[in-house]
Amino acid sequence: MYSYDEYKAIIEKHLLDYIPVIDIKARTLFDSMEYSIMSGGKRLRPVMLLAACDFAGGDIYEALPFACAIEYIHTYSLIHDDLPAMDDDDLRRGNPTNHKVFGEDIAILGGDALLNTAMELMFRDFTYHFDNPEKLKRHCCAGLTIAKAAGVNGMIAGQVVDVKNNIKDCSHEFVDFIEENKTGALISAPIISGLGIGGADKEVVDAFTIYARLIGKAFQISDDILDMTGSAEELGKTPGKDSQQEKANFAIVNGIEQARQELHKLTITAIESIERFETQDKKFFTDLALKLEQRRA
C-alpha cells in the first residue's frame, strides 16, 4: 500500500481531469468549481477510498473516478455550507469562501455542478464494464453507497437537523443524528465503496463497516472540539460558529473533556474492530485513526 501523502498526490494530479469541458459562455461556472476543488484540504475521503480498494487487493486507478467523485461531493457541501443561509462563513481553508469570490448565485450553481459532475462521473464509469457483470455490480454498489451517503438519509439529512437545531431544545438523540449523518456518512462511504470496488470479502467489509462508522463519528466530535478550541489560523475557517449560532454539538452539550474522552474511546474501538486482520496493510488504517484523533485542523 501507498502512504497517505502518496494517495493524496495521485488524487490531486487527477482532480480536474474529470471536470467536463464547459462552454466558454459559462466560464465562470468552471472558475467557481476549480476555485474550491483546488483550494487545498486533506483529501481524506478520496484517500480512504483508494486505500480501502488497495487493502482489498484492487486496482486503485479503477477506483480513482469514485475517489474524485466523493471529493467533488464533499467540496459542493462545503460551498453550500458556507452560504449566508447556512453557516454564513467568509473563510474556508484559509481563503475567502466561494460565494465571497463569485457571489451567492454562482456559488450555489458551482456546488450544484460539482454534485452533478460526481454523479455523471460514476455513471460514466458503469458504462465501461457492461462486458464484465461482476465488476459492473461492484462499481454500481459503490456508486449507490456514495450517493446514499450524500443524500436524504445521509449528509443532507444531517445538515437539515444541524441547520434547524438549537442548543435550548436539542436532545442527545439529535446530536447523535447530526454526528452520524452530516459528517459521518461521507466518512464511512469511501471506505465501504473502496472495499467493494476492490472485491473485498464479507468478513473484511463487515469489520471495516464498524471501523468506518466509528471514525466517522470520531471525526465529527473532533470537529466539534476544534470549533471550540482552535484558531482561524489553525482551522482555515472561522472558529466558534456553533456556539455563536447557539447550535448544539457533542462538545457543547457534553463539555470538551467528555468529548475528548469519547473521541479517544471511539478511536481505540475503531482500531480494535480491525485487529483480527494480520496483514501489515491494516497499519494504514490504525495510523489513520490515531492521526484523526490528534489532528489540529
What does the pLDDT read at residue 97?
Answer: 98
- Residue the block writes with cell 441547520: 163
In the chain, alpha helices (H): 4-14, 27-37, 44-55, 60-81, 98-102, 104-127, 133-150, 155-164, 172-178, 184-198, 202-229, 232-235, 241-244, 250-254, 256-273, 283-294
Please write the tens of the pLDDT for every residue from 39-92: 999 999 999 999 999 999 999 999 999 999 999 999 999 999 999 999 999 999
Asked if residue 128 lies in contact with residue 141, where contact means CB atoms within 8 angstroms, the answer is no
Residue 97 phi, psi (nearest 5): -65, 160
Q: How many CB atoms lie within 10 A of CB 280?
A: 8
Domain boundaries, the chain: 4-294
* Side-chain half-sphere CA neighbours of 209 within 13 A: 10
Distance, in Å, from the CA atom of 56 to the CA atom of 59, rounded to the nearest integer, reads: 9
What does the pLDDT read at residue 289?
Answer: 97
Q: What is the mean pLDDT, run by run of 10 residues, along the chain of 297 residues?
A: 97 96 96 97 98 98 99 98 95 96 98 98 98 98 98 95 77 84 93 98 96 94 90 81 80 92 97 92 96 90
Q: Domain 4-294 adopts which CATH fold?
A: Farnesyl Diphosphate Synthase (1.10.600)
What does the pLDDT read at residue 30?
Answer: 97
Q: Is residue 96 within a helix (H) or strand (E), and if so which, with residue range?
A: strand 95-96
What does the pLDDT read at residue 150?
Answer: 98
